[in-house]
Structure 1
Amino acid sequence: YQILSSVVGKRADVSYDPDGMYIPQEWYCTDRRHKDETGWMPFHLLQEDSGVQILKASNENTEQKKNDRKTLQQRIRGVSDNRYVRAALETTVLFVLMEIILSLTASVSDLKYVDIRLMFVAVCCSIHGMGSGILSIILACFSYIMHLYMAHVDISYFLYQVDSWIPFACYIALGGFVGYMFDVLRDEKESLQGKNQLLSEKYDFLKNIHQETLQIKKQLQKQITISSNSFGHVYEVASRLDTLNPEEILLRVIDIVEDVMQCHQASIFLLGRDYARRRACSPSLKSQISSSLKMSDYPELIRALNDGEVFVNTQMLAEYPDMASPIYAQGKLYGFAAIYDLPTENFTVFYQNLMRILTSLIERNLSKALQYEEARRKEMYIEGTELLKKEAFEQQWEILTQMDETGYTDCMKYHVKSSKPISDEQMGEKLLGLIRNNDFMGIDEDGSYAVILMNMNPAFYDHIRERFSAKDLSIEVVE
């Protein structure tokens, strides 16, 4: 249409009718002037009655030709794969070749005592066996009879002269012997191939059993080793978790989970109202998972956690951890421990139970630490607020700094200032709506208000500053 528009000098108004599915005849260059100016003559006018049918028939013919070609190829392949048909065709070709040689060597005296027919029978029987041998014997006898007929030999001489029967006897004897030997050798070969196939299948079967046995042996040895040291492991885990600070417990959990579960990518999430906030994780896992998980996107995981069960990602769901176990504290779901690189051989009930025992030890110590923290609430928090006092805030910052240095978490401290005088209660109420459940707020060592933001992306700093500004607050990074 663009070419026609440039030639005619007018803009082509192109539109399509979705109901008709055809181009009306009056849209074509039926006017003589257009034909003269463009030099184009339509061979077919695509009308409603004929144009669509032409295109449809052309498409159907193309598909039919493809199907016919494919059917012909399949038939040729089936014929070529048929042993009996191939033997008959090859025997016929050899017979024609034999007749040509006989006609060309009829006047050669040196080949007078060479029986080409006997060679033909021997070759056919040695290639395809008795079945092809019978056909070759019949063809050789027929060729010999036609040779006698063409030589004007009397039929009575042929019947009563024993010498004339010798070629028939030779063809039958040689064909039967060679064909029988070929069939015997072929049967032995097929028998040996069958035995070899059976032995190969038995070998593969025994090899798979051997590999499974070795794998089970390794797993049992591993379980025996773990079981034999179970008391030592339990005591070591209990000793490492024996602290009254919840943050120190969460700091040590990553090392314990990696050691006991034999993995390298573990994480701890604390549950909020709709999100799970990452508190700590293996250094290699930081760039692979988000610091906040919207739990509505993980229905299978949250269902297992609410039921108090260990989640195992046997369905290989994307973005899900390989294994996760709930952590309860003070009678409610506090968070969960997750593993993202659990070895395939550890997707067993044994490791599932091991994960549950491990989180049970975490729960016991975490609950004790939270109870101790609640008992010391008046010592740690400014009365009537969630602001940590100077000593408690500094202690919390030291622990989080250790976690940041080991690579288990990221934290940043910010000073918070108000544009007008404000009380501790008012500041605590404002900050409570601005930070997440895994962040901290309190009084810094210089006496100013401060917040500790966990696992915050620096790219969101401007957005956070705008949120604080909406509450008449300003923040400044503490170097």
Structure 2
Amino acid sequence: MRVLITGGYGFIGSFVAERFYQEGCEITIIDNLSTGNRSNVEFKHHSYALSIEDKKCEEVFKSNRFDVVVHLAAQVSVATSVENPRADTKSNVLGLTNMLSLSEKYGVKKFIMASSAAVYGSNDRIPLGEDEICDPLSPYGMSKWVGELYCDKWQKMYGLETLCFRFSNVYGPRQRDDGEGGVVSIFLGRILSNKELTLFGDGNQTRDFIYVGDVADAIYRASYSALTGVYNLSSSTESSINELVGHLQNLAGSVKTTYKDPRPGDIYRSKLDNSKIRHDLDWAPRYSLQDGLVKTIEWMRNERTETSHSVEKKKKETSLFVKGLKAALPYVENFILFAIVAWLSSAVVLTQNEFVDFKLFYIIVMGIIYGNRQAILSVALSIGLYTYELLGNGRELISLLYDTDFFFRIAIYLFVGLVVGYTVERKSSRLLAKQRQLEAMEEKHAFLSEVYNETRQVKEELQQQILNSGDSFGKIYSVTKRLESLEPEQIFTSTVSVVESIMRTEAVSIYTVNRYGSYLRLVAKSGGDQLDAPKSMKVEDYPYIQNLLENKEMFINKKLEGGLPLLVAPVMSNGNVLAVIALHQIQFENFNLYHHNLFKVTVELISTALSRALMFVEATMNQRYIEGTSALKPEVFKEILNSKAKASQKHGVKYVLLTPSVSDREQRELSEITQIISRSLRETDYIGLGDNGEILVLLANSSREDANFVLQRFNQNGIKMNFVDEGLQHVG
């Protein structure tokens, strides 16, 4: 099963991803890493650092064709939703609709969304059931409620199976202990940092805590169920904050607490009724609050250390210093170059080479290197230096205001600085725009290359599975080629080998259903005498067979009741059950949903082959039987006898060959004697002519002892039958 988990690097998402991976699923994660951490997921998976509203997500869906989408990515802070409702809506509504649209477009079978108890708002009716009125207090709660409505509409409009879980207070390892985390992680973070706990109110306010592992288990089990709609996911247990602190004291030592006034808007009591999910999914939380806290504390002690915080802080300070140094570097270089120009200008004055103006070169150089801002600064510094030089040569400041040469020099400085600075700035802007465009294209190319490489890798893995897997479609096809026969009897015989090969078992039986649907007759089985399968079964004595014939659906012995097959599937033709195939033994690890479906597909292939053979038999009826009789022609009877002989050699399925006495053959016409004989036979027996024209009767799945009862019936009808001892001599 291919599973996409949005927000898979987060607290809950990483546990959900881990649960699916343990069940052999192929995991893909979309996460923008705003709050998630890649280190939370250490097993092999496909990863995309994207926001859920990003258009690039379509490439992920297009390349993978997911079976299930678990949508956990969201803006989860109530405070942030109040401060910035637009950002909350962008993630929780626009992101959700993007995921829903892509799921519908690319054939996702099930969409599971994480909702929240925040949709209920402040409601004093405890416990809260799913049918309670929703009245959220925050934009976060509103966006989750709107998300549930979107999921419901997508199911009604497009047929996409959607399921929304309203989480209560989830806690456990990997949860952040800052303001974005839950009360459990925040309290533990402060305790391990030797800080006191602040309790708002009297501490008797209650919450419904559920361990993250229980949440992940419920989501996994719901993914292959028929559940849709909205369900509470909680422990359905009220625990006060004071009780929580008491548990923490028992587990982590003494805890300092401070009580403050209650915060406005805080809910006093919270408890979600989980009876609906318990009943419909047969699920129940496994971890008590104390058990979950033990695991959470153990993880926090190993992972959340003061050293990690100090290293992070040092990295942040270093990055700020580097950033500031990078911003100041152009100014430092400008002033250094200005100092060199000032020294050169004084040297030029000493040598009387007044035609060299280093200030003009200085302005041009700074404009070319850094653009407009540094060019203007260099113009200002050059004007100041030029004024200082004139004043140093004995000129009066007032006289400079009337000096046209002075203003002309200043105008040149300004003109050169502006032109060079503007030109370079414009060129830089264009280059920057092109560079950003190139980076965007490179990013897109890298993303598409990653998608392509992963798709190619998956393709290669699938090819290897097809080549190497014993139950691959390639192997199934090669095995079921044995069913390419137009003789129903040969198909029944080959079916035993086909099912044995595909299902890896040596305990298969096949029964035909009589025309009235009242009896089953054994036509083939595996294992020789090792498999004790009854030769005939009265349908009314076996409720599971009755149900199978009525509903035409596969029977699965989920309770592993003794005396019953593990799997029984109907062989269909034109909507009717012609036979049933029973699987009596299979390795325990193979008694799973995958092998149930494999058995179903195999039986459907057998049904197709049998339908084709029956159509051929019906179309060639006049060519199979001797005209006016129920006796098969010699070549047809010989082919059926061949099939019975091979089944006897390979599977130990016995048969008996009879022939009427010479006197009966001489005294009666062929049509008369075959009519009398057919009244005493079962649906699985045959009448035909041998190579020498003698009448032969084939009793399928019978021993000599069984045949004695048939001989008595023949005697009652006035016909004496004899055994053909060398039955195999009729086999060509």
**TM-score (norm: length of structure 2):** 0.34
Count of residues paired in the alignment: 262
Tell me what 1:367 maps to: 611
Asked if residue 409 in structure 1 is aligned to residue 653 in structure 2, the reply is yes
Distance 2:599 2:529 in 1: 19
Q: CA deviation at 1:448?
A: 1.8
Q: Aligned runs of 1:374-385 on 2, under 5 Å?
A: 374-385=618-629
Choose the corresponding residue for 1:270, options 512, 532, 545: 512
1:29-62 per-position Cα deviation (integer Å, ceiling 9, x unaligned): xxxxxxxxxxxxxxxxxxxxxxxxxxxxxxxxxx
Q: CA deviation at 1:449?
A: 1.4
Which of structures 1 and 2 has the bigger CA Rg?
1
Choose the corresponding residue for 1:442, options 679, 685, 688: 688
Distance 1:470 1:317 in 2: 42
Tell me what 1:424 maps to: 670
Tell me what 2:712 maps to: 466
Q: Aligned runs of 1:280-359 on 2, under 5 Å?
A: 280-284=524-528, 288-359=532-603
Contact 2:654 2:703 in 1 (8 A): no
Q: 1:242 to 1:442 in 2, by over 3 A?
A: same
Higher-RCO chain (CA-CA 8 Å, sequence separation at least 6):
1
Q: CA deviation at 1:225?
A: 4.4
Asked if residue 239 in structure 1 is aligned to residue 485 in structure 2, the reply is no
- One-letter amino acid of the structure 2 residue matched with residue 399 of structure 1: S
Structure whose residues are more often helix by fraction: 1
Q: Aligned runs of 1:130-169 on 2, under 5 Å?
A: none
Contact 1:298 1:320 in 2 (8 A): no
Distance 2:531 2:474 in 1: 34
**TM-score (norm: length of structure 1):** 0.51
Q: 1:331 to 1:403 in 2, by over 3 A?
A: same
Alignment gaps of 5+ in structure 2: 1-290, 296-460, 726-732
Q: Aligned runs of 1:157-196 on 2, under 5 Å?
A: none
1:121-146 per-position Cα deviation (integer Å, ceiling 9, x unaligned): xxxxxxxxxxxxxxxxxxxxxxxxxx
- One-letter amino acid of the structure 2 residue matched with residue 249 of structure 1: I
Q: Aligned runs of 1:10-159 on 2, under 5 Å?
A: none
1:152-172 per-position Cα deviation (integer Å, ceiling 9, x unaligned): xxxxxxxxxxxxxxxxxxxxx
Contact 1:442 1:451 in 2 (8 A): yes
Q: CA deviation at 1:226?
A: 6.8
Distance 1:286 1:421 in 2: 45
Tell me what 2:299 maps to: none
Q: CA deviation at 1:266?
A: 0.7
- One-letter amino acid of the structure 2 residue matched with residue 467 of structure 1: R
Q: CA deviation at 1:227?
A: 9.3
1:93-144 per-position Cα deviation (integer Å, ceiling 9, x unaligned): xxxxxxxxxxxxxxxxxxxxxxxxxxxxxxxxxxxxxxxxxxxxxxxxxxxx
Tell me what 2:378 maps to: none
Indicate the SS of the match to 2:667.
coil
Alignment gaps of 5+ in structure 1: 1-197, 203-220
Distance 1:294 1:317 in 2: 19
- One-letter amino acid of the structure 1 residue matched with residue 709 of structure 2: H
Contact 2:480 2:498 in 1 (8 A): no
Indicate the SS of the match to 1:473.
coil
Contact 2:654 2:702 in 1 (8 A): yes
Q: 1:437 to 1:352 in 2, by over 3 A?
A: same
Contact 1:434 1:467 in 2 (8 A): yes
Contact 1:306 1:333 in 2 (8 A): no
Contact 2:624 2:633 in 1 (8 A): yes
Indicate the SS of the match to 2:569.
strand
Q: CA deviation at 1:387?
A: 1.1
Q: CA deviation at 1:269?
A: 0.8
Distance 2:549 2:465 in 1: 30
Q: CA deviation at 1:277?
A: 1.0
Q: CA deviation at 1:327?
A: 0.1
Tell me what 1:248 maps to: 490
Contact 1:276 1:295 in 2 (8 A): yes
1:155-213 per-position Cα deviation (integer Å, ceiling 9, x unaligned): xxxxxxxxxxxxxxxxxxxxxxxxxxxxxxxxxxxxxxxxxxx9xx99xxxxxxxxxxx
Contact 2:571 2:578 in 1 (8 A): yes
Q: 1:461 to 1:363 in 2, by over 3 A?
A: closer
Q: CA deviation at 1:384?
A: 3.2
